[in-house]
Amino acid sequence: MNKRQIAVLGGGSFGTILANIVAGNGHNVYLWVRDKAQAQAINETHLNSRYMPDYSLHENLKATTDLHTAVSGSEMIIISLPSSAFVSVVTAMAAYLTPEQLLVSTTKGVVPGGFELMSHALKKVIQGQPIGVLSGPNLAKEIAKHMPTATVIASESSELRTRVQALLATDYFRVYASNDMFGVELGGALKNIYAIISGLAAALGMGENTSSMLMTRSLAEMSRFAVCLGANPMTFIGLAGVGDLIATCMSPLSRNYRVGYALGQGGSLEDIVNELGEVAEGVNTLKLVKHQADELGVYMPLMNGLYQVLFNNLSVADAADALMKSDQSSDVEFVLPREL
C-alpha cells in the first residue's frame, strides 16, 4: 500500500498497540492522548511508559493532544477510548471530519446512560460516515510480544473491512472479516461481565469442571441476549464471541478477570477498581445489561447472580446455590428451545 495517515484516539494499551502496528507497516500515525506530559514523553522516548513501558514505538508514530491535528487528513480514525469518554470525544471530533474518512471503534462497552453501543453512538453523532468495529481475543501485552493473535473487523462496508485488514496485517496479527457489526460489538461488551465471574471462581479455588461450565453457560447467555437484540447467533462461535470469552475468562492479564479475582479474595469493589488504575468495562456494562435484560425478559442467571453479589450483598455461596438449583433447561436452545 501507499503510505497513508491514520489516527488512533486513545493512548491506553490497545490503542498504543494498534497505532504501532500501523506505523510499523509504513504509515504515518497520530496517537491522540489527553495528557500533554504523556504525549511529550511518547515523542521523546518512543515509549508509552504509563501503559506499555517495555514496548518500543515506531518512529512513524507521533503522539498529540490536538484532536484537529490527529483527525484532519487521516484516512481512517481508530477510536480506542473508555466507554465513559467515547461520546464526548467523538462529538468534539465530528467538526473536523470529511465524508470519505473511515471510522473504527475498538471500545468494548456500553455508553453510560442507556443501552447504546459505540456504533450506535457514532451513527447518532456522525451521520453517513463508513463505520466499523474491531473486536476479538486481543490481550495487549501478548500482542506486544508478537504472540500470534487474531481479531475481527465488522462493518457493512466491504471497503472498510478490506482497508482495516491491509493496515493491520502482520506476521503475528491477523484480521478476519464480518458483516455482523452488532453481534461482534455485543460479544466484546458482554464477555467482560463473565470475565469477572471467572476471576471470582478462580480465587475461590474452583476446578476445571466449574470453569468450563461457567464459560459455556456464559456463551449461552451472551448469544441469547444478543439474538434478542437482533444479532446473528453464529457470530458467537467465532473470535468475537467464544474466542474473546475464552481469552478474557482465563487470563490474569484481563482487567475484568483481575476484578473478579480480587473480589474472591475479599476485596471491596470500590478499592479494587481504584487500585487497578485502568478501566474495567465489565462493572459498568453489568449494570446496563441487567436493566436491559430485565426490560426484555431475557433469562441471564449468571449475569443476575453477579449483579446481586456486587450490588445487593448476596453471598457468592448463595448465588452459586441459586444457580445450581435453578430449573433444568436445554443446553443449546438454538437446537432444543428452552422451556420457559
Catalytic residues: 191
d(CA 122, CA 215): 31
**In whole angstroms, how far apart are CA 305 and each of 87, 147, 265, 340?**
30, 35, 18, 19
Q: CA angle, corner 265, sides to 261 and 269, nearest 5?
A: 70
**In whole angstroms, how far apart are CA 307 and each of 35, 55, 260, 278, 319?**
34, 37, 12, 21, 10
Alpha carbon 201 to chain centroid distance?
22
d(CA 271, CA 263): 10
Alpha carbon 232 to chain centroid distance?
18
Q: Are 86 and 79 in contact (CB under 8 A)?
A: yes
User: Which residue type occupies 43?
Assistant: N
Q: Are 303 and 290 in contact (CB under 8 A)?
A: yes
d(CA 25, CA 68): 24
